[in-house]
A = this chain, B = another copy of it.
Amino acid sequence: MSRDGIAELARRRGFLWLSFEIYGGAAGFYDYGPLGAMLKRRVEEAWRNFYLKEGFYEIETTNVAPGEIFEASGHLESFTDRAVVCKHCKSFFRVSEGVDVHEKCPECGGELESAGEFNLMFQTRIGVPKGERDEEAQKKSEGYLRPETAQGIFLNFQRLLRFNRDKLPFGVIQIGKAYRNEISPRKSLIRLREFTMAEAEVFVVPGEKNDHPRFDEVKDRKLWFVPNDGEEGEKSVEEAVRSGIIANEYLGYHIAKVEEFLERIGIPQDKLRFRQHRQDEMAHYARDCWDAEFFSDRYGWMEIVGVADRGDYDLSSHASHSNTDMGVHVQMQAREGEAEKAKVIPHVIEPSYGIDRIIYALLESSFYEEQVGKEKRKVLRFKNEIAPIIAAVFPLLNRDELKNKAREVFQQLRNESIFVEYDDSGSIGRRYRRQDEIGTPYCITIDYETLEDDTVTIRERDTMKQVRVPIGEVKDVLVVAL
């Protein structure tokens, strides 16, 4: 497996392109080319269906929000990174392992000094401030690009509760852009300034966090845990919850679901681990947080999903800042066994997925180079569920009678809403290689036998084996594979 191989292939084949490249590019921004956009869309669709099946609702809220939202959420105060500046070349760097005031400048070797805390939100101004543009009006017009999609869900909590007929627990999902004005991102997909998050916020009665109704469905799943104290190792979710490594069943259930989803779309299980945040790296809103980390050949262990227990932090903050009642009446078991109504602020369990990093992980872990005869075959072994293109249809030779028949088969499959491609340029071998490189699971070839008996060959990407099937059965072969 080659690291540069996949980066080069991703650019050449239209998966990922550096944004604004004709103007020299900009660190922290990437575009999805045609195949990347299709891959991303399929991953998002798989994610959405996965959580809709949990009975969750999807909503869509805004990217821009007024400053008071982030005053309440704590992001204005706490969503910051420490920076250092080089005394010599004036370059700024984010303080991290390897870069701190006592180190040397990574650019010129000069001396570094502290440059203070930087808030990571992109700031903007909403509208033309009314009245004289005095300090208060300026302040009121401050807006920010959201650093997470979650706040839009919290702000609508009361309406969502009513939509769920005033019952807890319930879950709400959102897929959308989020933004972090990183101090010094490199030109890679790993630390983006604009990225796509897929987040689920699960609202639960605080006293019921240890009683997830479907915990049994996940309890035997074995994961690799790296707790912030104690030894790392493989454990079942049930063991991890019972032994106190994971704080409660809800958190355990959602950690297990994260792994189930990642495995389903094709992230290899042996490249995944769940690492608990240390107290000093936890977000300001989190009581506990576990990262799903993917082992990248290029970058080492990297976070691709975070699962946090946010407690009542967000709802309580918004309740007091907006002077709104976020309490919910719930049935509680009283001591004598009789039910009584109590008012609680729900707790929030949040699985938060970084879609772009997942796309990177899929590209890297699906990429294989192998010797076939005297050629090197490059192939993306995407699962059928996420492959951008399901099948390609080829005429064996560049002759009208074969091309017409191939176009007919192509159109037939498109009409069945199966996303297929047509290709008649270059040798058949070259066309196979091209489809291997973009991860297409099947190639359908029309030859002279097709004109006689209406059969085609279907070549499978990974085994490179071919079978001959009647045209009428092609759809079934592809659909079964889905």
Contacts and interface: CB of A to CB of B under 8 A. Distances in A.
A156 B122 contact: no
Contacts of A425: 165
B64 A23 contact: no
B27 A127 contact: yes
A181 B126 contact: yes
A182 B63 contact: no
A357 interface: no
A476 to B, nearest CB: 16
A136 B92 CA distance: 16
Contacts of A37: 57-60
A193 interface: yes
Interface string A73-94: 0000000000100000111100
Contacts of A145: 64, 124, 145
A183 interface: yes
A182 B128 CA distance: 8
A129 to B, nearest CB: 8
A14 B179 contact: no
A113 interface: no
A61 B31 contact: yes
A247 interface: no
Contacts of A182: 127
Nearest to A419: B52
A336 B133 CA distance: 68
A257 to B, nearest CB: 17
Interface in A84-125: 89-92, 115, 118, 122-125
Copies of this chain in the oligomer: 2
A430 interface: no
Contact of A66 (B26, B62, B118): B26
A182 B127 CA distance: 6
A69 B20 contact: yes
A335 interface: no
Nearest to A182: B127
A433 to B, nearest CB: 15
B194 A159 contact: no
A53 interface: yes
A381 interface: no
Contact of A14 (B28, B64, B159): B159
A57 B187 CA distance: 25
Given A122-B124, A125-B122, A414-B53, A179 B64 contact: yes
Contacts of A194: 62-64
Contacts of A68: 23
Interface of A: 14, 17, 19-23, 26-34, 36-38, 40-41, 49, 52-53, 57-66, 68-69, 83, 89-92, 115, 118, 122-128, 130-132, 143, 145, 152, 155-156, 158-160, 163, 165, 172, 177, 179, 181-184, 193-194, 318, 321-322, 324, 414, 417, 419, 425
The 8 A-B residue pairs with the shortest CB-CB distance in the complex, in nearest-first order: A34-B57, A90-B131, A32-B60, A22-B322, A31-B61, A92-B128, A22-B324, A122-B124
Given A21-B156, A22-B318, A122-B143, 18 more contacts: A17-B156, A19-B62, A22-B158, A22-B322, A22-B324, A31-B59, A31-B156, A32-B61, A34-B160, A34-B172, A36-B59, A38-B58, A40-B60, A49-B417, A63-B63, A63-B179, A64-B122, A124-B124
